[in-house]
Amino acid sequence: MLWRVSSFFLFQATAAALGWYLASHGNEVLDALALAVLGGYVWLSLDALRGMRLLRWLRLGETGSVAVGSGLWGEVSDRVRRLIRARDRLAIDSEGRLQDFLAALQASPNGVVLLDAEGRIEWLNQTAAGHFGFDARRDVLQHFGNLVRDPGFAAYYGARDFRRDVIMPGRESTSSKPVKLSVHLHPYGEGRSLLLSHDITAVEQADAMRRDFVANVSHEIRTPLTVLAGFVETMQSLPLPDQERQRYLGLMSHQAQRMQTLVNDLLMLSRLEGSPLPPTQEWISVSALMTQCEQDAHDLSSVVFARVKDVSFEVEGVCELAGSSSELHSAMFNLIGNAIRYTPGDRAIHVSWRLLPHGAAVFAVKDAGPGIAPEHIARLTERFYRVDRSRSRDTGGTGLGLAIVKHVAQRHGAELGIESVPGKGSTFSITFPAQRVRPAILKQAVLA
């Protein structure tokens, strides 16, 4: 401001001096005064021109500098330029924070949809696009209710009671592969809503499996308990001959053994699911495992089925296997036991251990039983799944053996394979990876 006033008076003084100089050389005094006044107008015009230039620069919103010189307008332009730069930095920072926030929402495992007061889509992440079959660009500003025509959601949105969620089918849900979504609306701002969607298909399947598991266990235990209770009541209320009593006791023992086998299998599954993975540093002799399985197979066929079936064993190479001895024996003998149970007495069973060229190994059990239809193979490892329920109970199966085999194979990095042809038998195999198989280290006695 001081420079502005000083420059004005300096300009006036210069014009007055010029006027007095002209007056001293014969010109009129009034002409000299007019010249001084004209100088003031010239200064004001120049100053107004600088102000107009600055005003035009502000109106156009240009980011570059403007030539207004020094003085008041120069100071104003400098301060305005600094304010603009600060505003731009703030806008850039705000945009960066907004993009970070949107990136965080984009990475959310839940579907996120922002709706305006009219229920139109303002923004959504890719998870929500997958849940509902939306296109993130095409469907912006579309009404959510027009794109998702589920009666359950329509009633939920119309009731305006968002204290709970609503369960609805996903976009790709089919009768053979259902997809369930949990959708919850959260109001915010001036009528806006935050919609969160979560895929609960796995949770629903786990709940269904838990209910089926409890129902199956209850059913499997109830049958032998009913038989036991009936025999006990009969023996308590009726005088029975010794031969009849012995027969009843034998049947009761069989049912008790059946329940014990079921409980042992359930405990084995529980241990497999809740224990750490088997070690890779402990090595078990394959020959010892096969010898134990051979003895157990002989006991099962001779004691349980009262005859020795033709079960042959073939071991290729002297190998060791890394893992848990008890788990591996349980898996191997479950496959052998199933073959013994379902193979007729006049047919053979072949058990083999074979090395593969790339270092892996295969344990296989081949039977000549009735075989399994293709539609049942994919579900054989489900708990309590049976192709023929009545026949499974007659042979003493619990419906958990192949589930145990599958868990043991997965825990050892192995793969369970099933090949079967109805009427021609089945082959069950476990393929162990090369890193869990090695040649046996022969221990040599050192003589003193």
Give the three-state DSSP class for 416. Answer: strand
Mean pLDDT to the nearest integer, 336-348:
83
Half-sphere exposure of 64 (CA within 13 A, CB side): 2
Residue bearing the bigger pLDDT, 30 or 256:
256
| Percent of the chain surpassing pLDDT 70 | 78
Secondary structure in 3-state letters for 130-162: HHHCCCCCCCCCCEHHHHCCCHHHHHHHHHCCC
CATH architecture assignment, domain 109-199: 2-Layer Sandwich (3.30)
Question: How sure is the predictor about 445, in pLDDT bands with cuts at 50, 70 and 90?
Answer: very low
pLDDT of residue 36: 58
The whole-angstrom separation of Cα 159 and Cα 153 is 10
Q: Which CATH homologous superfamily contains domain 278-448?
A: Histidine kinase-like ATPase, C-terminal domain (3.30.565.10)
CATH 3.30.1490.100 applies to domain 204-275: no
Mean pLDDT to the nearest integer, 329-348:
86
Cα separation values, 149 from 96, 126, 180, 254, Å: 36, 20, 15, 57
Give 303's DSSP letter.
I
**Burial (0-12, 13-18, 19+ Cβ within 10 Å), 223:** middle
Q: Is 109-199's fold the same as 204-275's?
A: no
Question: How sure is the predictor about 360, in pLDDT bands with cuts at 50, 70 and 90?
Answer: very high
Question: How sure is the predictor about 417, in pLDDT bands with cuts at 50, 70 and 90?
Answer: very high
| Percent of the chain surpassing pLDDT 90 | 19
Quick: pLDDT tens for 214-225: 777 777 788 788
Give the start-to-end residue ranges of the domains of the chain.
2-100, 109-199, 204-275, 278-448
> If you average pLDDT over every residue of the chain, what do you get?
80
Residue 70 above 90 pLDDT?
Answer: no
Question: How sure is the predictor about 17, in pLDDT bands with cuts at 50, 70 and 90?
Answer: low
The whole-angstrom separation of Cα 84 and Cα 87 is 5
Nearest Cα to 338, choosing from 278, 411, 391? Answer: 391
Tokens matching residue 33: 């005064």
Quick: pLDDT tens for 117-159: 888 998 889 888 888 888 878 888 888 888 888 888 888 888 8
H or E element, residue 175: none
Quick: pLDDT tens for 93-103: 887 887 787 78
The helix/strand count (H/E) of the chain reads as 13, 13
